[in-house]
Chain A
Amino acid sequence: MKLLYLTITLTLLSTALLAAESPVELLSANTDIQDKASLRRGAYLFINQCTSCHSAKYMRYARLARDLEISEEEVVDNMLRFGATKISDTISSAMTPDAGEKAYGIAPPDLTLEAKYRGVDWVYSYLMGFYKDEKTTFGYNNRVMNNVAMPWILASSQESMSEEEFSRDMRDLTNFMDYMAEPIKPWRQNFGKYVIIFLLVLLIPVWLLKREYWRDIHGLRSPTSV
């Protein structure tokens, strides 16, 4: 029996070890979804840079204002754009999918869930992954997505900034995209510990109750004939 349990454990362990593999070496995003300042910076970056081509059609401005503690006036005055008129609107893009397809051969994807779809490390590595490559038509490429269709729109800011500043910006942007993919995530990670503590405390009376009831069972003497 013990051998059986050992086999199961070993099988599961080896499975877990084998699971850790990836075709492209990804950078570690190291984002902190509880860092509201980072999320706010990321939100501005997203809205100023990404929305020219990409929408985030499930993300409402009002939610963003509430969660990231940006005043509604600020959001209405400086963030709403491209057809969004009310704070309850979602983040739209300047470009229609058809126009995007004409321009780049592929419609720029909606980015609301991108961080969930690709993973946070992938998004960060992608944003950091553009480099000059004379072999391609446009003279640039991307480390995690070969022959990338997206223009290197960050080229100018990447050149004008120090390596450190740029990677901080990209980290903030990645962080925001992680939040945007699941706006409840920072809250649930915070709140979860109370649920766990409650259940752990509940275990005590439950365990005592069992012990109390089972006292008479353990006290039962079995027939000596066995």
Chain B
Amino acid sequence: MADKKFRYNLRDHAADYWERSPKWRRVSLSISFIAFFYALPFLNNPLINTPGSDFQSVLFYPVGMYVLMAIGLNIVVGKSGLLDLGYVAFFAIGAYTMAILGTHTSLNFWEILPIGIALAMVSGVLLGTPTLRLRGDYLAIVTLGFGEIVRIVAVNIEAIGGPRGIAGIPTPPDLFKAKFTILDPKPYYWVLLTFTLLIIWMVRRMAARRPGRAWDAIRQDDDVAQLMGVNTLKYKVWAFVLGAAVAGAGGVLYASQILSIVPDQFNLNVSILILACVVFGGIGNLWGVILGAALLAFTPERIRFLSQPRILVFGIALVVMMNLRPDGILPKKKREHFDPNWKTVEESGEGEIK
């Protein structure tokens, strides 16, 4: 086949390179990557600049925020295979926690953050425990409903501003020398980046251990997972709750940057767009999802100079991409590996068991 010659599988090559690398090279590569992303707001490259909107703001919202939320949703959709169409609800709960507590109490951002995460997690448990017994389409419908309910409740409660939302949300207090002001999105971006790195670290640890195996099993065959002793409901609720925690943290940070929120910011579109990020990047593949979210968030800003037709261009680009790479940019594919220690044992029953 002619195309086989030209097909250079970047992901496999990158993974091979990483696996072959000694520890010092992995550490230095990781440090340079992380440093690059912390320095990103200072990068004034015409290629990635966003004419028509402030590049530093774009880095925080939508790019950084989408990446964070996509990582969170990927735990639910990608790892455990639960289709959640109401993910924005947890984002809204985080944002409203910041808005309400920030305007009515003297608590600051850092004190509200754990409360927002906790409330999002509690709502994850409350929604998840009864509904995660449902499967597939039914779960999707229930979560879709939940996402809308949270928004509609916010619209209808006058005490939290009703449709006008809440304005005058305080900014976080200064941290070291960084001042959080409406004019400078850089500190917010750095906080967001720190959250994101922390969450990537946590997700990777979970994925390689018992929870990761349990989620893999649930996604592939729920019944067999149960019969192999996996408490599937417990691990599904955990996936839901962890996803909710990530969105909740994002919501708190978002509200403290944007300073005023209205319920309509948390509509179904956000849920769908985050899900699109996950699917576009490659369901279940952490790096794919991050790349997908960054691209989906960045592209409309990059082509803002096209003004109205930009959404059309964006849509066409999306359709073309999904045709070229139907499994996402970096599809999840487990790589097989061999260890020379696993010498061939031809006859069945060579070993002993206790």
A, B assembled together: no
Give B residues with C-beta under 8 Å from A: none
CB within 8 Å of B: which residues of A?
Answer: none
